[in-house]
Amino acid sequence: MRLLLKCLRLGRRRRFKLVRQTEQLWHYGHLCLRSLLYNSFTNSDVVLDSLFEPVYWLVDHVTRWFGVVFVALVIGLTSSIVAIVYICLLPLILQTYTPAWICWHLTYGHWNLIMIIFHYYMAITTSPGHPPQAKDDLTGVSICRKCIAPKPARTHHCSICNRCVLKMDHHCPWLNNCVGHYNHRYFFSFCLFMTMGCIYCSISGWEMFRDAYAAIERMKLLEKERLEVAANQTYYQTPPPTFSFRQRAFHKSVVYLWVLCSSVALALGALTLWHAALITRGETSIERHINKKERQRLQKKGKVFRNPYSYGGWDNWKVFLGVDVPRHWFTRVLLPSFHLPHGTGLSWDLPPCVTKQRAPLLAI
């Protein structure tokens, strides 16, 4: 009996010892894990970014390889709309419209088309600007974690291009290029004129769209009736089609033109308004998020954040478009222009077209 009790006590001690050792190993492993992952700046945003890192990697690589496909898609869709206008709509305009309206459509339509082609080509082929390779004389406000090199003000690293971009706004897959210091104006002008062109086609082709849609519905109804009649007759008695192939192609092309232009006008118009608001505030898409967090941080301390790169709404537009004198509104905005933006993207001195000094960065 004593031997049995002694064995029970010994087994109980071993179990307790095993449990204590397991608890010690658990606490030790938990402490090691926390020591490796601890960061005083860790919050819910950092955790979400870490969890979505594989998704970001996949998107970056897919965007890099499919950029050429997106560019070809833009060129193909735009070319199809232009072809429909020239083949289907322009002969109808020349036959039915008055000379004044014909001059208006020919002048505005071709001007808008030239502006779209010019700015899209320049946005694709123009480099957004990168910091120089020689880093000795480069003044940086921070260090890029990917390039391990100084980053000038407003410069950010593009994970798709794998390079730092001066005054980076975003990487546009429809351009297969980054939008930065040297091609930001081309990008925005392309969005603006493409939206204007789509709105012009949608408004001008509204009546034609209604007639074409009604004709297509009538085609379907007559085709259904023709098939019902043909089912009760012999092959040689089948009636011919009511609409010719050319008529069908014409009506379907008009519907395709109106639907595509209206959809692009809504989507691209919203994007254009968004970028117009950013330009008015003197910000890029990346700076908006940075400035928002900085504004909230300083607000808790009772301070007010001032954007050092904003000169006021009107002056921000003049700086962005490169308007130094009044005639530039015509030669540089309403006509194709190759002029460069103000500054080099490395430093941000006060542009000559700004009429007042910039606001301080922080104001108590």
Q: Which positions are annotated as active-site residues?
A: 172
What is the residue whose two structure tokens read 């020239």?
86
CA distance 149 to 145: 8
String of b and e for 92-108 (b: at least 16 CB within 10 Å)?
ebeeeeeeeeeeebeee
String of b and e for 55-72 (b: at least 16 CB within 10 Å)?
eeeeebeebbeebeeebe
Give residue 157's identity as a one-letter amino acid code. H
Give residue 172's identity as a one-letter amino acid code. C
CB-side neighbour CA atoms (13 Å) of 309: 20
Q: Is 284 helix (H, G, I), strand (E, B) or coil?
A: coil
- Provide the token pair at 335: 């006509």
Beta strands in 104-223 (DSSP E): 142-143, 150-151, 156-158, 163-165, 170-172, 177-179
Q: Which of 191, 147, 140 has its CA nearest to residue 169?
A: 191
